[in-house]
Structure 1
Amino acid sequence: MQRVASLIHLPAARSLNLTGKGIGIAVFDTGIGRHPDLTLQDSRLKAFVDTVNHRPDFYDDNGHGTHITGIIAGNGNASRKRYEGIAPDSHFVMIKILNQKGEGNIEDVLSGIRWLLAHYRQYNIRIVNISVGSSRGRHFDENSPLVRGVEALWEEGLVVLTAAGNHGPSPHSIGAPGNSRKIITVGASDVMQTGNGRDYSGRGPTESCIKKPDIVAPGSNIISCQPMHTYSARLYGSSYDSMSTGRLYQSRSGTSMSTPVVSGCIALLLQQRPYLSNREVKFQLKKTAVDLGYDHSRQGWGLIRLDRLLYL
């Protein structure tokens, strides 16, 4: 996370004492596990909804959701702030829509959307992070229930972000619901910035010729929170950082990781300017992004930079 902080100029936000306090984020994912950076002591987890197994207590049987939430809101306590998230004082609700293998179905997603539409005011939710999606957007056009569902959240005034997917670099490779013209679609910037690694980030335009992605952020080798004894850790193995953190952190890559970077940045922006609408937030992201010199289908409007976003 220190590398990410440098690339997006996070210290600029910290100099203004912006930590996301008072801003709520809804995370649609695999759940959330116990972790000292997220759920212990003064827990900022305000609600847990399980549309998959309908269990009442929070858990994460995969690990992906805990990792995503750590990027947004981890307080870094277990790593002496080394792996602190972007908005460490924000609060969150977790809506589990994916199973142990990280797979899901449309009805579980729509069930989670219906719950959030009924409860977002109760928890002061301003941002929705959806680091999941279909393999290709053409299977879910703009009128599909999935896309209409996430757009219903947008029409309620929520800032909705979703991943561009990892099926690049071919054109039209952005999955749904990232093919929505309304919500914010996030790609990964790493290969464009370093020239190294696999260029996996989903590319636009969509099958309906909508210009996507909207913005890019770092997404490769991101170290964030990892719950113990998860299915994914057992099945796939984990590249844990073991210098001082044991098995509390794990490195993962993908546009799934890029999306919460931007969600965390928006939490800081909304703490600074809580009056902004979701459309104004999207406009500010585009206006202040840094052009990396690539086609729009690859980088959108560019790399998110907090010093520019916060008008420093």
Structure 2
Amino acid sequence: MNIAREVIHADWAHQRGYSGRGIGVAVLDSGIYPHEDFMHPRNRIIAFKDFVNGYEKPYDDNGHGTHVAGIIGGDGTKSNGQYKGIAPACNLIGIKILDEKGNGSTSNVLAGIQWMIDNKDRYNIRVANLSIGSPDREGENDPLVKAVNAAWDAGIVTLVAAGNDGPRKQSITSPGVSRKVITVGASDDQKSVDIHGDIISDYSGRGPTKACIKKPDVVAPGSDIMSCASDTKYIPEDGQDPANSLTTYYVKKSGTSMATPMVSGALALFLERYPYVTPNDLKLRLKSCTNDLKFPQEQQGWGLIDIQKLFGGEIGYGIRY
């Protein structure tokens, strides 16, 4: 995370006081473990809804969702800030739609998205992160695509992973094939003086979609990302103490699942500064706030996200503050 933060200039925003405070980010995934990076000085997992097992308190029996949440909003408590996330003061809304094996049913995903829409005002959900995907068989007729489009239309900036089926063309997974959402691919996260030293990871899903929609939209670091670990055996209803259950606080994972929360966190920072921006306005701004890696569009989209560029310059038409 420390290298990735530098690559996308998150530290630049942190030094200027932006941390995502007050912005709700929904993590639709395998859950969120109550890691200390989310719990101090206050519990920032402000809501949790479990569509798999029906538990009421936060947990993660797979670990994927916790890792994603750490990239978005871990504050680095257990690493002295080294593995701090992109928006370390944002609020997290955990929506468990994946089981202990990382699998999820369409019905649970749809229910999770609808619950998020229904509760967006209650928890100020401005950003949704879906580091999930399935093969693109129905295009924009896919119920998952229709659901993320509804979230977007409800005012939630929705980010979806491009999938890990690259490098072949037309390998973007659904619902990342939606023309509305921001679809995120992976770039190598090794810091380089020359930005062209950042190469696209071979696994990252490539566009265009089968409907010839240009995807992905942007890329971000996704390889060997160190973020929050989960005690996958911890079940809160059993009366366990999460503070004493972890022996390893951080773990490395790779994939577009890790790249997507980089961008989710970045947009949470921006929404803290400009809270009235609409999803469409924010997507248009993001288009011009990236660094060109000199790869074809079907690999890199608009390019590597740059938070300093996102904040810099004139704020365009349609953005109110």
Mapped contact 1:140–1:146 kept (Cα < 8 A): no
- Deviating more after overlay: 62-71 vs 33-42: 33-42
- Deviating more after overlay: 34-43 vs 259-268: 34-43
Does 1:200 find its partner at 2:203?
A: yes
Q: Corresponding residue for 2:67? A: 67
Measured in 1, the distance between the counterparts of 2:201 and 2:220 equals 15
Residue 179 of structure 1: which of 158, 177, 180 is its match? Answer: 177
Aligned letter for 1:268? L
- CA distance 1:272–1:140, shift in 2 (3 Å): same
Q: Corresponding residue for 1:219? A: 222
Q: Corresponding residue for 2:101? A: 101
Q: Corresponding residue for 2:254? A: 253
Q: Gapped runs of 5+ residues in structure 1? A: 232-244
Q: Gapped runs of 5+ residues in structure 2? A: 190-194, 235-245, 314-321
- CA distance 1:208–1:13, shift in 2 (3 Å): same
Q: Corresponding residue for 2:13? A: 13
Measured in 1, the distance between the counterparts of 2:200 and 2:129 equals 25
Superposed, which structure 2 residues align to 1:44-83 within 5 Å?
44-83=44-83
Deviation at 1:15, TM superposition (A): 2.5
Q: CA RMSD in A?
A: 1.8
Superposed, which structure 2 residues align to 1:1-312 within 5 Å?
1-39=1-39, 41-134=41-134, 136-137=135-136, 139-190=137-188, 194=197, 199-230=202-233, 247-311=248-312
SS at match of 1:132: coil
Deviation at 1:113, TM superposition (A): 1.3
Superposed CA offset, 1:180-223 (max 9, x none): 00000000011895477951000000000000000000000000
Measured in 1, the distance between the counterparts of 2:125 and 2:198 equals 37
Runs ≥4 in structure 1, deviation > 3 angstroms?
A: 191-198
Q: TM-score, normalised by structure 2?
A: 0.89
Measured in 2, the distance between the counterparts of 1:49 and 1:167 equals 29
Aligned letter for 2:309? R
Deviation at 1:40, TM superposition (A): 5.2
Q: TM-score, normalised by structure 1?
A: 0.91
Aligned letter for 2:272? Q
Measured in 2, the distance between the counterparts of 1:256 and 1:126 equals 19
Aligned letter for 1:289? T
Superposed CA offset, 1:132-155 (max 9, x none): 010x22x23201211101110001
SS at match of 2:164: coil
- CA distance 1:170–1:30, shift in 2 (3 Å): same
Measured in 2, the distance between the counterparts of 1:114 and 1:193 equals 40
Mapped contact 2:198–2:293 kept (Cα < 8 A): no
Measured in 1, the distance between the counterparts of 2:109 and 2:156 equals 17
Measured in 2, the distance between the counterparts of 1:193 and 1:96 equals 37
Superposed CA offset, 1:256-276 (max 9, x none): 000000000001111111121
Measured in 2, the distance between the counterparts of 1:119 and 1:196 equals 39
Measured in 1, the distance between the counterparts of 2:53 and 2:27 equals 17
Measured in 2, the distance between the counterparts of 1:194 and 1:43 equals 39
- How many pairs were matched up? 297
- CA distance 1:41–1:9, shift in 2 (3 Å): closer
